[in-house]
Amino acid sequence: MAFATALEKAEMIAAQFDYSDDELRKCVRKFLSQMDGGLRERTPAMCQIPTYVTRVAQGTEKGQALGVDLGGTNLRVCLVTLHGDSSYHAVHSKVSLPSRIMLAYEAADLFGFMAEQIEALLRTHCPDQFGVSENVAILSLGLTFSFPVYQNAIDSGILLRWTKGFDIPSVVGQDVCELLQHEIALRSLPVKVTALVNDAAGTIMSRAYSLPRGETRTTIGTIFGTGTNGVYLEKLSEISKPLDGHFDESSGKMFISIEWGSFDNELSVLPNTEYDVEINQFSRNPGDQMFEKRVSGMFLGELLRTILAKLYVDPTVRLFGGIDANTGLMTGNPIPLHTRWAVDSSILSIAEFDGTDNLETLRQKIFDALRVPPSSIGIEDAQVVKIIAHAIAKRAARLGGMALGAVVTKTEQLGSVGSRSQDACVLGPSEADGHQPCLVDVGVDGSVIEFYPRFEVYMREALRAVDGIGTAGERLIRMGLAKDGSSVGAAIIALVAAQQTYEAP
């Protein structure tokens, strides 16, 4: 049970997470300038990686391909059959990644593990592909590798650095497609890696494929999961850094993976509380991915835990009863409340979701996630958790809205709608061609945006504050969840890359 000042203290901490419209607009300006810098320089921190995907799926693509998605927490493998009518059939497997793989010594540990999962899926669903050495159809594979990989071509890319919880130093600087193809060859699997894909790009493709014909196609993809990133369609004329590999230039555009997790690593405009400083200091990559550390699922739970652990030892608060009054020491094995990185972000969603007076569900979650004894979790303690969790998540969502707002601004898709009335846009000239006027379609994926109840609401609040978007522009931004989009999207990109039959967006 916390002291009476606990709620006041919680409100004071929450206030440190306020992120005003003015700060947001400052961030948008810097974001736009870093986007421009990334289109000129090869690999600045926010590195604007060319994806070599130049057209968006139309829903007419047909065939079968594999998608392999190495995310922050899970490895998904899926075999996708596209029917060519915006529908598909997919069989999936999903394993959570053991830390011995995420922190392995040899590249082969990770890529061998991936090849084993591919083999297992194929043996279950395509047993005919084995045992016959001739006339076996080679399956195209799209590898979703959700880390900063600098692409030289649609099917090759060099890992620049690890993010999220991964650290296998020997992979940095290597071509991740070659590493996977090598392990596939060792197992004689009938599979060729034909595309390297960022998860946000996969999200765009799977959503665009599934949209009904005639609908405005998806041009932006965002991930708010363990990590965060955005991909958008850029004009080739805007990309002045060299594009090494071959690609079809006829659309005049290419999808760019922003790697916005590293926006403002120098912290000139991002909000920075003492808790952000601590998280960064104890992370695997201090000074790197500073935007991601304020927005993505890997860090939101840890931010909350850091604050709660401080309130536990604060004698004026004594959250959850605080330190033992007699000894002043904690005894026994440290519970997750006192263990770095032991709490995931799902507690924030539950805190937002539980609107009951006695916060029963949240108190149960506090017990499950923080392992605080139930007798020490009073209603006030749960209220403290709720206030702080809300502040952390709202700031994350507003930062996410800021980034999306900057990207929408950069693509100029809304024209001057932000400064026009809603009616002017709806009745605008583009209505005649059968497309919904001025609509910007955004594919989203990731546990944070999927499960945090008001994440999109707060993102939209932020979008309305962006110069040139406003209320009228925000209404024209359509967001749709592309669940498991990154693995399905990777298969689509792989198939299309192998067949080279993209159609114009």
Q: Which is nearer to ligand GLC, 287 or 328 (CB)?
A: 287
Pick from 67, 112, 148, 418 the residue near ligand GLC by CB under 6 A: 148
Q: CB under 6 A: which stretch of 170-178, 226-234, 400-408, 464-472 binds ligand GLC?
A: 226-234
**Binding flag, residue 400, ligand GLC (CB under 6 A):** no
Q: Which is nearer to ligand GLC, 223 or 369 (CB)?
A: 223
Q: Are 297 and 344 in contact (CB under 8 A)?
A: yes
DSSP string, 58-89: -S--EEEEEEEEE-SSEEEEEEEEEESSS-EE
**Binding flag, residue 443, ligand GLC (CB under 6 A):** no
SS3 170: helix
Smallest gap from Cβ 182 to ligand GLC, in A, equals: 22
Pick from 229, 285, 349, 447 the residue near ligand GLC by CB under 6 A: 229
Smallest gap from Cβ 259 to ligand GLC, in A, equals: 6
Q: CB under 6 A: which stretch of 27-35, 134-142, 220-228, 436-444 binds ligand GLC?
A: 220-228
Q: Are 422 and 472 in contact (CB under 8 A)?
A: yes
The pair of structure tokens assigned to 24 is 């947001």
Q: Which is nearer to ligand GLC, 122 or 298 (CB)?
A: 298
Q: Are 447 and 485 in contact (CB under 8 A)?
A: no
The pair of structure tokens assigned to 9 is 């203290």
Q: CB under 6 A: which stretch of 1-9, 192-200, 278-286, 323-331 binds ligand GLC?
A: 192-200
Distances (CA, A) of 87 to 141, 332, 493: 19, 55, 15
Q: Looking at the chain, how many residues does it have?
A: 505
Among 171, 149, 162, 161, which residue's Cα sits nearest to residue 105?
A: 171
Pick from 155, 183, 259, 456 the residue near ligand GLC by CB under 6 A: 259
**Binding flag, residue 261, ligand GLC (CB under 6 A):** yes
Q: Which is nearer to ligand GLC, 229 or 306 (CB)?
A: 229
Q: Which amino acid is at 427?
A: L
**Binding flag, residue 198, ligand GLC (CB under 6 A):** yes
Q: Are 437 and 382 in contact (CB under 8 A)?
A: no
Backbone angles phi, psi at 165, to 5 degrees: -95, 10
DSSP string, 335-360: PGGGSTT---THHHHHHHH--SSS-H
Smallest gap from Cβ 47 to ligand GLC, in A, equals: 10
Residue 278 CB contacts under 8 Å (≥ 6 apart), including other chains:
306
Smallest gap from Cβ 159 to ligand GLC, in A, equals: 10
The Cα 19–Cα 295 span in angstroms is 13
If you ran DSSP here, which 8-state letter would residue 171 be given?
A: G
Q: Are 376 and 6 in contact (CB under 8 A)?
A: no
Pick from 61, 199, 302, 456 the residue near ligand GLC by CB under 6 A: 199
Smallest gap from Cβ 36 to ligand GLC, in A, equals: 20
Q: Which residues, numbered 43-72, are part of the site for ligand GLC (CB under 6 A)?
A: 72
Q: Are 344 and 369 in contact (CB under 8 A)?
A: yes
Q: Which residues, listed in sequence order, are joined to residue 82 by a DSSP beta bridge?
A: 63, 88
Using CA atoms in the order 170, 174, 178, 181, what is the torsion angle rounded to 10 degrees?
Answer: 30
Q: Which is nearer to ligand GLC, 45 or 438 (CB)?
A: 45
Smallest gap from Cβ 45 to ligand GLC, in A, equals: 11
The Cα 310–Cα 338 span in angstroms is 9
Element (H, E) at 410: helix 379-411
Q: Which is nearer to ligand GLC, 14 or 407 (CB)?
A: 407
Smallest gap from Cβ 227 to ligand GLC, in A, equals: 2
Using CA atoms in the order 16, 346, 166, 289, what is the torsion angle rounded to 10 degrees?
Answer: -30
**Binding flag, residue 144, ligand GLC (CB under 6 A):** no
Smallest gap from Cβ 146 to ligand GLC, in A, equals: 4
Q: CB under 6 A: which stretch of 141-149, 210-218, 330-338, 468-476 binds ligand GLC?
A: 141-149
Pick from 17, 113, 147, 255 the residue near ligand GLC by CB under 6 A: 147
Q: Which is nearer to ligand GLC, 155 or 292 (CB)?
A: 292
**Binding flag, residue 225, ligand GLC (CB under 6 A):** yes
Residue 274's CB: how many other CB atoms inside 10 A? 11
User: How many chain residues interact with ligand GLC (CB under 6 A)?
Assistant: 17
Q: Which is nearer to ligand GLC, 119 or 259 (CB)?
A: 259
**Binding flag, residue 292, ligand GLC (CB under 6 A):** yes
Smallest gap from Cβ 286 to ligand GLC, in A, equals: 16
Q: Which is nearer to ligand GLC, 354 or 484 (CB)?
A: 484
Q: Which is nearer to ligand GLC, 140 or 486 (CB)?
A: 486
If you ran DSSP here, which 8-state letter would residue 439 be given?
A: -
The pair of structure tokens assigned to 104 is 């392995």
Pick from 86, 206, 216, 228 the residue near ligand GLC by CB under 6 A: 228
Smallest gap from Cβ 18 to ligand GLC, in A, equals: 25
CA 365, chain centre distance (Å):
24
The Cα 186–Cα 55 span in angstroms is 33
Q: CB under 6 A: which stretch of 24-32, 36-44, 227-235, 436-444 binds ligand GLC?
A: 227-235
Q: CB under 6 A: which stretch of 20-28, 77-85, 131-139, 194-202 binds ligand GLC?
A: 194-202
The Cα 84–Cα 498 span in angstroms is 16
Q: Which residues bind ligand GLC (CB under 6 A)?
A: 72, 146-148, 163-164, 198-200, 223, 225, 227-229, 259, 261, 292
